[in-house]
Amino acid sequence: MQIYNDLIKIKNSSIALGYFDGVHLGHKVVLKNAIHIANKNNTQSTAIIFKEHPLNFLTDENVAQILTIDEKLNILEKIGLDNVVLLDFKTYSHISAKDYLENILIKYFSPIAITTGFNHYFGFNKEGNSEFLKENQTKFNYKYFEIPPFVVNDNIVSCSLIRNKIQLGNFYEATPLLGYNYFIEGIVIKGEQIASKLGFPSANIIYPENKIKIPHGVYYVKVSLDGNEYNGILNHGFAPTMDNIDKLKTEVHIIDFNRNIYGEKIKISFITKIRNQAKYENTDKLKAQILRDIAFTQIYKYFLKDKINIPCKRLYL
């Protein structure tokens, strides 16, 4: 997959338009349609994406991301796109829909097809939409495809809904909307080694600054390292039992794993939240709780293996 950080001429493209944060199930339909049309016509598929979320410029809101730009590009490559063109939203935010279509999309990509989601807007004041693209098909000799809402469990899949689920720590409901487990990545750094002294060595990472913040608590996670995947329990927050109530920590105990991985990059995928943080009377009670947390991962894995979808609050005793 070729990545371009500015406009470049890619003639006869099958274009997909969108911000695609999360590259969720609805996004994948848009992208795969563009790829299908490209393959069918022996041409190239091209996604045109703004580097920053438009709302960060249009409002005072700072929209937390489901994926970093690198994570997004990695997923887009796996889907099978030929090209991704990354544009600065600020540069194009004042261009009318007509100018954007004629002087950007048509001039640079002479598209044979344009695919968007049902709720995609572009151009100054959101002048460009599905109807606008439909009306200009004949004039500019492209075929427009509008992808209807993608529904999972009676919910229209959307970035805002997914962000809400993640912010609540509700990965049980976020995962079916994304089509994969929400994840973070980071380099393992040296912590205070408190967990090691308790008998549960942990890998510490810095929670990515621009990603959605999750509630403080303990989570059942999967840890990917060197092509292998391990079960783990992750603590995100503080360590009240150890009187650490100031320094935010993201640390994961990788179950049945004993290796020095300082400086290595790990991927942590969230399965479900186990419990909120709590302050225990002493370290013995904390260790007993950690053992229950580890046991929980085995119970939850058993239910998933048998395809019995039960929310964690019904599993954890």
Q: Are residues 144 and 12 in the same domain?
A: yes
Q: Are residues 70 and 187 in the same domain?
A: no
Q: Are residues 192 and 291 in the same domain?
A: yes
* CATH code, domain with 61: 3.40.50.620
Q: Are residues 130 and 193 in the same domain?
A: no
* CATH code, domain with 273: 2.40.30.30
Q: Are residues 25 and 99 in the same domain?
A: yes
Backbone angles phi, psi at 30, to 5 degrees: -60, -50
256-274 pLDDT, tens digit per residue, is 898 889 999 999 999 999 9
**166 occurs within a structural domain:** no
132-173 pLDDT, tens digit per residue, is 999 999 999 999 999 999 999 899 999 999 999 999 999 989
Q: Are residues 196 and 58 in the same domain?
A: no
Number of domains in the chain: 2
Backbone angles phi, psi at 38, to 5 degrees: -65, -45
Residue 208 belongs to domain spanning: 183-315
Which of 104, 133, 152 is the C-terminal boundary of a domain? 152
Task: Give buried/exposed letters for 80-106 (b at 16+ CB in 10 A, else e).
Answer: ebbbbbbbebeebeebebeebbeebbb
**170 occurs within a structural domain:** no
Give the separation between CA 214 and CA 184, rounded to whole angstroms: 11
Q: Are residues 30 and 95 in the same domain?
A: yes
Whether 12 shows a pLDDT value over 80: the answer reads: yes
Query: What's the pLDDT score for residue 13?
Result: 97
21-57 pLDDT, tens digit per residue, is 999 999 999 999 999 999 999 999 999 999 888 777 7
What angle (nearest 5°) sits at the alpha carbon of residue 212, between those of residues 184 and 121? 115
Give the separation between CA 15 and CA 144, rounded to whole angstroms: 10
